[in-house]
Amino acid sequence: MSHRPFDDSPVHPITRADGVSNEIRIQDGHLFVCLGCCCGRTDKGLPPVPLDEFKRQWKQRGIRRRFHLTISGCLGPCPLANVVLILFRGQAVWLHSINRPEDVGLIYDYVERMLRQESYLDPPPELAGRRFERYLEDTATPCCTATELW
């Protein structure tokens, strides 16, 4: 089955607050790899982050225009090092203990499956055991439509 090419993402015009018009790519998702105060800190007795592998595969797989990679400062859940956050079409997937180069391949294979499907998928079994929740879910029942609020 054919899928949208990995380098095909729509471009949208945006005007900044200073009046300058520009364009940005509207992407499917984003991977944040934590390299903060704890993740990857071997001097604190934690495993290294396979950082070069994250960068290498991101470029090699040709997904850059649809899926962004950011090496970040502390994402928060330090005791679970090494932590990554995958955002895909509004869904958040937090993973811990991403220590080995093989884990990087599992993550990008998972991302590629979502890119081909054009939709969020739950993580594969090899990663699901390292998933954790980080955000509260919205339990409020909507009381009214947006137009009723105005």
CB nearer ligand FES, residue 81 or residue 114: 81
Those residues with Cβ within 8 angstroms of residue 119's Cβ, 6 or more apart along the chain or in another chain: 89
Q: How far is the CB of 83 from ligand FES (least distance, A)?
A: 5
CB nearer ligand FES, residue 41 or residue 68: 41
87 near 107, Cβ under 8 Å? no
- Comparing CA positions, the residue from 107, 84, 93 lying closest to residue 35 is 84
42 near 28, Cβ under 8 Å? no
Whose CB is nearest to ligand FES? 36
CB nearer ligand FES, residue 99 or residue 121: 99
63 near 111, Cβ under 8 Å? yes
Site for ligand FES in 34-53 (CB under 6 A): 34, 36-39
Site for ligand FES in 56-95 (CB under 6 A): 74-78, 81, 83
CB nearer ligand FES, residue 95 or residue 111: 95
65 near 25, Cβ under 8 Å? yes
Distance CA 28, CA 133 (A): 21
Q: How far is the CB of 110 from ligand FES (least distance, A)?
A: 20
Residues that bind ligand FES (CB under 6 A): 34, 36-39, 74-78, 81, 83
